[in-house]
């Protein structure tokens, strides 16, 4: 190795020695041993300990073993244990241990999934995942899938495909000519659509303020009777799972009207589309197969690791046309080239973890997962009502909205609950009422976890009532 630089010699030696990987493995095992029982949110001491990272970049190379030790000793205690059973914030799922093991292995591959020639195995796994998801969601056989970072980007891709196709039908090539002078596109959307949908509309030049907002009922469902006459230049955006209540828009009725009018329908199904995998809950997604594009997240209901967004599009050519890049150095093949279906070129092989989860669970395991999340949510709602808390939504999926007798009590209870570390829930506002949002998304959540969570709510409310107005 005389021709190798000092850095190369050092890194080759570390790769062969394996001691750093053994060290990292030991730290990972330490974390896994306590993750299901430790505090959900970091302690004040752990948060203060993050100050050790505030240091100038050194001139000389650092000690790799010391780097790992610092990351574990200061970093691990300051994590939020989203993979445990008592994290109920932001519709975030856990991770199955076998899938984490697959992630460890494929992290070593460090392969990109833009083109078949870069990684044939990733191209194959994306192809398999596409087929499995289309079958699982009962979508049209020709549906294409793109694997992106999350449902925010999946929505952007689905709407971009819709924009491209509607304008193409009107005789306009948006890729070549842009939006200046293009035929107008109407956007029909529910008044409680997710904020990421409005973000996608703004990024695509369709505007957040020029949309036609449709009134919703008391559960956040779009009122079908209020939907105006649709036409072939209309983009309709529906929800399969309201982020607060978990409710589903009347998909079948609106999709049928859109189909007859030649409109494009996109379904935001970030966490709710997985209801299609459960025989007892697939009625919630009835009619979703009539849409044109769908956005869904693996790292929500399915419990894949971050990041695992999926865009599905019935019109493969429209998605490819909206996403495709060109360049003399891009070597497309006769196999699947993943970048045709996503905005990114360089991206990790995130479909591996999706494939591993689907492979390990199978149809029956996915159904059991979905049903268990819904059952734990119902258990939570029933126990909370029995303790005098208000549940403000109809619990149809895995979302529950909690309120106390007054907004002040709700805020105080949430603040003390979050600081307790026993569980973690987020805040929200539902019909001008402050609420505590509870999203049951982790495979690890047991009936005992729900019992502990309800007890933590009661303790936090009691402390709030005994010390009203006191700043925690």
Identify the pLDDT of residue 78: 97
pLDDT exceeds cutoff 60 at 414 = yes
For the stretch 283-340, pLDDT in tens is 999 999 999 999 999 999 999 999 999 999 999 999 999 998 777 778 899 999 999 9
Identify the pLDDT of residue 470: 57
Tokens of 281: 């809950």
Averaged pLDDT, 232-238: 98
Asked if residues 274 and 304 have their Cβ atoms less than 8 Å apart, the reply is no
Domain boundaries 363-466, CATH class: alpha beta
pLDDT exceeds cutoff 60 at 131 = yes
Tokens of 463: 């402390």
Identify the pLDDT of residue 469: 64
- Residue partners of 383: CB distance under 8 A and separation at least 6: 450, 451, 454
Tokens of 223: 């009122």
Identify the pLDDT of residue 4: 82
What percent of the chain has a predicted confidence (pLDDT) above 90?
Answer: 94
The CATH classification of domain 102-358, taken from the options 3.40.640.10, 2.60.120.200, 3.40.50.1240, 2.140.10.10: 3.40.640.10
Q: Which residue has the tokens 């491209």?
A: 164
- Domain residue limits, the chain: 17-77, 102-358, 363-466
pTM: 0.95
- Residue partners of 269: CB distance under 8 A and separation at least 6: 239, 240, 241, 285, 288, 294, 295, 296
How far is C-alpha 472 from the chain's CA centre? 32
How many whole angstroms separate alpha carbon 81 and alpha carbon 101?
A: 18
Identify the pLDDT of residue 3: 78
Averaged pLDDT, 124-137: 98
When pLDDT is cut at 50, 70 and 90, the band that residue 2 belongs to is low
When pLDDT is cut at 50, 70 and 90, the band that residue 96 belongs to is very high
- Residue partners of 205: CB distance under 8 A and separation at least 6: 179
| H-run or E-run covering 256 | helix 251-261
Q: For residue 161, which of 268, 291, 320 has the smallest C-alpha distance?
A: 320
Asked if residues 174 and 161 have their Cβ atoms less than 8 Å apart, the reply is no
pLDDT exceeds cutoff 80 at 379 = yes
Q: Which residue has the tokens 């030649």?
A: 262
For the stretch 153-181, pLDDT in tens is 999 999 999 999 999 999 999 999 999 99
Identify the pLDDT of residue 1: 60
């Amino acid at each position: 190795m005389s021709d190798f630089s000092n850095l190369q010699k050092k890194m080759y030696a570390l790769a062969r020695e394996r001691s750093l990987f053994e060290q990292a493995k030991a730290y990972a095992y330490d974390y896994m041993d306590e993750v299901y029982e430790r505090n959900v949110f970091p302690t004040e001491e752990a948060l203060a300990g993050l100050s050790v990272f505030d240091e100038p970049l050194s001139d000389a190379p650092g000690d790799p073993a010391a780097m790992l030790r610092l990351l574990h000793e200061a970093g691990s205690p300051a994590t939020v244990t989203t993979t445990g059973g008592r994290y109920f914030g932001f519709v975030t799922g856990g991770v199955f241990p076998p899938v984490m093991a697959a992630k460890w292995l494929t992290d070593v591959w460090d392969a990109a999934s833009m083109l078949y020639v870069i990684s044939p195995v990733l191209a194959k796994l994306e192809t398999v995942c596409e087929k499995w998801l289309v079958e699982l969601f009962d979508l049209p056989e020709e549906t294409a899938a793109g694997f992106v970072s999350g449902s925010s980007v999946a929505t952007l891709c689905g709407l971009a495909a819709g924009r491209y196709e509607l304008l193409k039908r009107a005789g306009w090539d948006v890729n070549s000519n842009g939006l200046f002078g293009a035929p107008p596109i109407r956007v029909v959307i529910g008044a409680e659509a997710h904020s990421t949908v409005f973000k996608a509309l703004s990024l695509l030049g369709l505007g957040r303020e020029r949309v036609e907002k449709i009134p919703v009922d008391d559960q956040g469902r779009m009122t079908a009777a209020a939907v105006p006459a649709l036409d072939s230049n209309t983009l309709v955006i529906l929800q399969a799972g309201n982020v607060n209540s978990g409710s589903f828009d009347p998909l079948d009725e609106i999709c049928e009207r859109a189909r007859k009018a030649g409109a494009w329908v996109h379904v935001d199904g970030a966490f709710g589309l997985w209801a299609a995998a459960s025989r007892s809950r697939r009625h919630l997604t009835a009619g979703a197969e009539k849409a044109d594009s769908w956005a869904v997240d693996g790292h929500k209901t399915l419990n894949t690791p971050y990041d695992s967004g999926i865009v599905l599009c019935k019109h493969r050519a429209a998605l490819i046309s909206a996403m495709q890049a060109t360049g003399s150095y891009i070597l497309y093949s006769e196999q699947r080239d993943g970048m045709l279906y996503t905005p990114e070129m360089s991206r990790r092989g995130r479909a591996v973890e999706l494939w591993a989860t689907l492979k390990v669970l199978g149809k029956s395991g996915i159904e059991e997962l979905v049903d268990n999340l819904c059952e734990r949510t119902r258990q939570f709602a029933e126990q909370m009502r029995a303790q005098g808390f208000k549940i403000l939504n109809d619990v149809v999926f895995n979302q529950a909205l909690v309120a106390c007798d007054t907004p002040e009590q709700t805020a105080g209870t949430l603040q003390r609950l979050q600081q307790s570390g026993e569980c973690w829930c987020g805040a929200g506002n539902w019909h001008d009422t402050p609420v505590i949002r509870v999203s049951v998304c982790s495979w690890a959540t047991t009936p005992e976890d729900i019992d502990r969570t309800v007890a933590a709510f009661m303790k936090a409310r009691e402390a709030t009532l005994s010390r009203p107005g006191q700043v925690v």
